[in-house]
Amino acid sequence: METVNIHEAKTHLSRLIERAARGEPFIIAKAGKPMVKVSPIDAPARDEVRRIGFMAGQIKVPSDFDRMGSTEIEQIFSGHE
């Protein structure tokens, strides 16, 4: 993530806002110390970010999942239709 100092942020505010709106957040620093993060309004908050496993228990995988379509796949690769 890009870090810009306050002077640069003031000078290029319009350009930086356009980039942030496109999903490129940036940090504004004062004397090299990060002060604020600028990100789009519709960006998910830290506690709203979806994590792997968020649908645990809601999806059922058939027990024969690894064999599904095996006949058709074998026909395709063997050249027999």
Residue 67 CB-half CA count within 13 A: 3
pTM: 0.52
Both tokens of 52, joined, read: 């792997």
> Is 77's pLDDT higher than 80?
yes
The residues with which 28 forms a beta bridge, in sequence order, are: 4, 36
Domain ranges of the chain: 2-41+52-78
- At the second CATH level, the architecture of 2-41+52-78 is 3-Layer(aba) Sandwich (3.40)
The span from the CA of 37 to the CA of 16, in Å, is 12
pLDDT, tens digit, for every residue of 16-57?
Answer: 999 999 889 999 999 999 999 998 887 666 666 667 787 888
Name residues whose C-beta falls within 8 Å of residue 68's C-beta, 6 or more positions apart in sequence.
62
Mean per-residue pLDDT, 54-66: 86
